[in-house]
């Protein structure tokens, strides 16, 4: 069971990347069609969409016992790079466009979760989200 959990959590970020790619391939109004709420929801999704991706990478690293400061930074960098690739990809999709402000929102979400991870996990007393990573490291990582 521990091995299955580790494999599942390791694959999850890549499945989520495919999900992001598919959503980015849809025209701007294909998912949500509420006039007022449309813009608010779509704009706020940028703050969490890539933070979730970074979080999934951090969870995968923790589940494999490899969540280090360097690995954590690499996970954040990969998530940010994928955010940039996503914006470029959107420039080729009809009715979508690449927007630097969307990329800034992607980075902001990643940075918020990155800071929470550093402050919560890389301290002697794990707190907040660091407890989740510590739990995964303890129960899913290979012994």
Q: With bands split at pLDDT 50, 70 and 90, how would you rate the model's confidence at 122?
A: very high
pLDDT at site 38: 67
Per the model's pLDDT, the better-predicted residue between 46 and 58 turns out to be 58
Q: Express each pLDDT in 60-107 by its tens digit.
A: 999 999 999 999 999 999 999 999 999 999 888 888 778 899 899 999
- By C-alpha distance, which of 109, 54, 50, 113 is closest to 85? 50
Q: Could you read off the pLDDT of 21-46 as tens digits, one per residue?
A: 998 888 765 555 556 676 677 778 87
pTM attached to this predicted model = 0.88
HEC letters along the chain: CHHHHHHHHHHHHHHHHHHHHHHHCCCCCCCCCCHHHHHHHHHHHHHHHHHHHHHHHHHHHHHCCCCCHHHHHHHHHHHHHHHHHHHHHHCCCCCCCCCHHHHHHHHHHHHHHHHHHHHHHCCCCCCCHHHHHHHHHHHCCCC
| CB-based contact 100:39 (threshold 8 Å) | no
């Amino acid at each position: 069971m521990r091995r299955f959990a580790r494999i599942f959590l390791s694959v999850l970020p890549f499945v989520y990347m495919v999900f992001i790619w598919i959503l980015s391939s849809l025209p701007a109004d294909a998912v949500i069609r509420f006039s007022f709420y449309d813009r608010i929801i779509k704009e706020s999704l940028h703050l969490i969409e890539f933070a979730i991706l970074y979080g999934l990478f951090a969870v995968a690293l923790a589940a494999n016992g490899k969540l280090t400061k360097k690995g954590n930074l690499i996970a954040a960098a990969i998530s940010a790079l994928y955010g940039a690739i996503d914006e470029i990809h959107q420039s080729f999709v009809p009715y979508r466009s690449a927007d630097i402000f969307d990329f800034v929102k992607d980075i902001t979400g990643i940075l918020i979760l990155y800071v929470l991870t550093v402050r919560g996990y890389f301290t002697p007393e794990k707190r907040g989200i660091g407890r989740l990573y510590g739990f995964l490291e303890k129960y899913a990582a290979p012994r």
